[in-house]
Amino acid sequence: MTSGIEPSPHWSLVDVPQQRIRRWKNVRTWARLIREAEALWRVDVRALHRLAALELGQLLQEVPPRLRRRVNRWLRRMGVVTRLG
């Protein structure tokens, strides 16, 4: 037995833009974190280089596979050297 309320076909149309915005924010966040880690790499201090390498390695492992292409696009726009495999 159903509740008598049928889902509106417009609900799915409303969710699509929200999902796209959420995914866009996630991609942008990953790209910014990677850019910040690479910026640390450019500082001429060995301790910071080690920290940046650890951060960058961790971030690259944590990017969800389904977002990697989009993150790479953001990284190219920002002029970042790292590319996800």
Q: Which two tokens stand for residue 35?
A: 């850019």
The answer to whether the beta carbons of residues 60 and 34 sit under 8 Å apart is yes
Per-residue pLDDT, 75 = 82
Per-residue pLDDT, 85 = 57
> pTM higher than 0.75 for the full model?
no
Q: What is the pLDDT along the chain (85 residues), one digit of tens a residue?
A: 455 555 555 555 567 888 888 898 898 899 998 888 888 777 667 777 788 788 888 888 898 999 988 888 888 888 777 666 5
Rounded to 5°, angle at Cα 81 from 23 and 63: 30
Cα separation, 35 vs 26, in Å, equals 14
